[in-house]
Structure 1
């Protein structure tokens, strides 16, 4: 197959800077990595192509079936909910998923230079590494899963489970968001991978801190606090219609604190930010209804003239608007009830220049290593979330070395360093330099069979059965 000219290809399910993109919060840093190597970002639906942004030619019907059918109704329930009983499967969805995956592989194969590095992102594109390996065995293929990987009993319910695991194994480097997901994948592949690399994507700390330092964001934060007067403690949480985000648990905990007068009505406010998204249906629609109902109940019971305890805002916010809410909040609540990435907690920490504020973090967050000093809680433990909220509220007004250390950590281990480290590992050090952090363990990669054959000058034309990346790391 004829090769292209790009030494680096990055592939995502949607175009960069699109809120729905798996890599949306790190788009700026990833675009810089692509541009610095004369690379190309490949995505379906790219409105306007450029020297670095390339569109995958897809049929709109196939794309809608792939995204709204197979990804949303088959994969998402399995990956995010771990509920085999609730996922739906359809032959037409599977066919569209294969068509889209094949078109991605064809596009990448035509753009990549000989021996180029290819970085594929998240579960909608998880069949691409295997297809691409068959087309271009010379490429260095990396795959980052930004969602949890389900346990074996849930994956077993997916008809294409073998294609999924075989494709991920075809990558020279595969990374997961948390240790549980890595262990699930190892179990599903009978430990063919050894210990997969845990490497969650951090927040783009520099970008959000820059936005928070602007007069616009600081003025907006002041206006938010003024509108919330006389409240003296502002809690902030984020989440959409994913039950794993733990929004219901946060609302229930806040209600318990107001009901028991541990928090005095009029002095504490909870702001919950949710993306607009598509109108949810089924389980997600029921969850939104429950969130809105519970919000109304709390406000109906505790609101007074001039005081509303829960502010539920469903809108897509710009970076500057998010920064304003971070600056206005005293306590950030990032308390998912299942394994989840919590980039907004790291963004919040990045804005705390004064050292004021606190972060309450779930044991199920993949950000624990990045946020030392956060108040860690198991949201399933009765009363634990309420106590953590009270502790954070009592400490938030006092500047603390803990928050300054947390802020320094997220600025050091940011998405730019993460991208450098991934590409350095994928290319055996030939592309970019890794960040120099004393707390990172040395990565000693063991390449897949296809990668070893490339080094030995052999060709590999069969479907892959390699072992993928073997490494361990306790840090993002």
Structure 2
């Protein structure tokens, strides 16, 4: 019977100490209906012996592999987060490319392929997640595997004019054409990649029928990620009554609360957002001492200089704003770097009059959808959403804003806080209907159906004519793979 093999950088395995963040919900939903393997990094780096171990839990095998310390730093802190992350978020100016980091990135993709090679069966279906593994399908193909392999990018995918700024893009991005299906969050992202395949790889085909590489037909699709809408709404109803959330709301002394929840990342637009809130207080003095903005931003990738700089900048801006407008009995902005549980956040969302979800660029942004699901239908809050978040493609009844325009965001804050009940309820009902129709439980089935022809793997999947080799095609210490250019 075919197994589903999910691959991601982080794995939320029992007792592993590693969390997969927002990816966890999506992957667990896919493995719920298709028991199989979740393969990824163990969370450990080693300078000597690399270990791969398996944890069995509830019909799922969690296969975890260690990574070499030097290669991990080059792969993760180097190429993945100092080159791919900024470029995929339209920030060529922040990319810092080095051949050494690319070498580390390639080695880690090779290591994952080698460990997968040992356990992969001919009829397994492989689903690879995110920008950490652009080269993985190519490495698996080189080891003889002809399995159906799909890839999903959780970040945005920029236009050709930006992605071509990635050094060696013809070696890296073109490697995605070794996948059978490449999926994206939005139609815009999918169209950008299709244009790349047409202009840079010059493969014949189109979005509807796929692109013929000579070895396979590569399909491209958009599969917007959702949330578990109904269960999150139930969670929020319970959480609002918890001692933690009740304490936070009581501390407001009757003031309205605006909430923002983001990793501390330059793509989230936190500095721009705080500046917009400051402009709101400047233009609407009647709201001073009547509203509190709670920004929860757990620290992220603190070892990278750009993130350290951002952390200092945000703290400085918040301190200045609070010093200018705050009073002994009122702090305009509560800025918290501590992570909170989803349950606690669900309750805080429900107790907030408005949410500021204003990334400068985001693949989807599930905070926007969670905020909607958490609302009280009898007294719903208002979502203020960046037009540059993937969620904006679905959530058009929100107040859509340009996060670079502080005046427009300030005006949206005032509109949200002053919005009549009937308009708030109408917008909420429209938004809830939209996100409920795209529940996370249905998302894996849509992707797998596009990849295999069936939403579950119980249906037969075409097997390759030749089985993969039983011996290693290359060791981890082999020279870095040079990914061929597909330009003709």
Q: SS of 1:279's equivalent?
A: coil
Whole-Å separation in 2 of the counterparts to 1:424 and 1:431: 7
Whole-Å separation in 2 of the counterparts to 1:460 and 1:86: 41
Asked if the contact 1:340–1:366 (Cα under 8 Å) also holds between the matched residues in 2, the reply is: yes
Asked if the contact 1:56–1:103 (Cα under 8 Å) also holds between the matched residues in 2, the reply is: no
Unmatched segments (≥5 aa) in structure 1: 434-450, 468-476
CA gap 1:150/1:304 in 2 versus in 1, 3 angstroms: same
- Aligned residue for 2:174? 166
Asked if the contact 1:217–1:321 (Cα under 8 Å) also holds between the matched residues in 2, the reply is: no
Whole-Å separation in 2 of the counterparts to 1:322 and 1:221: 9
- Aligned residue for 2:210? none
Whole-Å separation in 2 of the counterparts to 1:384 and 1:215: 33
Structure 1 position 250 matched with structure 2 position 258 = no
TM-score by length of 1: 0.83
Q: CA deviation at 1:374?
A: 0.9
The correspondence for 1:301, drawn from 318, 321, 324, is: 324
Structure 1 position 431 matched with structure 2 position 456 = yes
- Aligned residue for 1:236? 259
Unmatched segments (≥5 aa) in structure 2: 45-52, 208-219, 470-482
Q: CA deviation at 1:245?
A: 1.3
Structure 1 position 49 matched with structure 2 position 54 = yes
TM-score by length of 2: 0.81
- Aligned residue for 1:394? 418
Whole-Å separation in 2 of the counterparts to 1:214 and 1:427: 39
The correspondence for 1:94, drawn from 77, 102, 107, is: 102
Q: CA deviation at 1:43?
A: 0.7
Q: Which moved more, 1:406-415 or 1:323-332?
A: 406-415
Whole-Å separation in 1 of the counterparts to 2:40 and 2:438: 27
- Aligned residue for 1:413? 438
Whole-Å separation in 2 of the counterparts to 1:62 and 1:37: 32
Whole-Å separation in 1 of the counterparts to 2:429 and 2:193: 36
Whole-Å separation in 1 of the counterparts to 2:17 and 2:80: 17
Q: CA deviation at 1:383?
A: 2.2
Asked if the contact 1:358–1:396 (Cα under 8 Å) also holds between the matched residues in 2, the reply is: no
The correspondence for 2:36, drawn from 24, 36, 39, is: 39
Asked if the contact 1:244–1:338 (Cα under 8 Å) also holds between the matched residues in 2, the reply is: yes
Structure 1 position 350 matched with structure 2 position 347 = no
The correspondence for 1:264, drawn from 265, 287, 305, is: 287
Q: CA deviation at 1:459?
A: 9.1
Asked if the contact 1:127–1:163 (Cα under 8 Å) also holds between the matched residues in 2, the reply is: no
- Aligned residue for 1:59? 68
- Aligned residue for 1:132? 140
Asked if the contact 2:29–2:440 (Cα under 8 Å) also holds between the matched residues in 1, the reply is: no
Structure 1 position 146 matched with structure 2 position 154 = yes
- Aligned residue for 2:86? 77
Aligned length: 442
CA shift digits 1:267-307 (9 cap, x unpaired): 11111110133425433222222211111111111111221
Asked if the contact 2:268–2:360 (Cα under 8 Å) also holds between the matched residues in 1, the reply is: yes
1:317-466 equivalent positions in 2, closer than 5 A: 317-355=340-378, 356-381=380-405, 383-395=407-419, 400-429=425-454, 431=456, 457=465
Whole-Å separation in 2 of the counterparts to 1:458 and 1:116: 14
Asked if the contact 1:147–1:341 (Cα under 8 Å) also holds between the matched residues in 2, the reply is: yes
Asked if the contact 1:209–1:351 (Cα under 8 Å) also holds between the matched residues in 2, the reply is: yes
Q: SS of 1:214's equivalent?
A: helix
The correspondence for 1:225, drawn from 242, 245, 249, is: 249
CA gap 1:362/1:112 in 2 versus in 1, 3 angstroms: same
Whole-Å separation in 2 of the counterparts to 1:166 and 1:26: 25
Whole-Å separation in 1 of the counterparts to 2:434 and 2:191: 26
Asked if the contact 2:257–2:294 (Cα under 8 Å) also holds between the matched residues in 1, the reply is: yes
CA gap 1:86/1:277 in 2 versus in 1, 3 angstroms: closer
Whole-Å separation in 2 of the counterparts to 1:337 and 1:89: 22
Whole-Å separation in 2 of the counterparts to 1:308 and 1:332: 18
Q: SS of 2:110's equivalent?
A: helix
Whole-Å separation in 2 of the counterparts to 1:20 and 1:294: 33
Whole-Å separation in 2 of the counterparts to 1:20 and 1:251: 31
Whole-Å separation in 1 of the counterparts to 2:485 and 2:191: 19
Whole-Å separation in 2 of the counterparts to 1:405 and 1:272: 26
- Aligned residue for 2:310? 287
Q: Which moved more, 1:382-391 or 1:341-350?
A: 382-391
Whole-Å separation in 2 of the counterparts to 1:182 and 1:262: 45
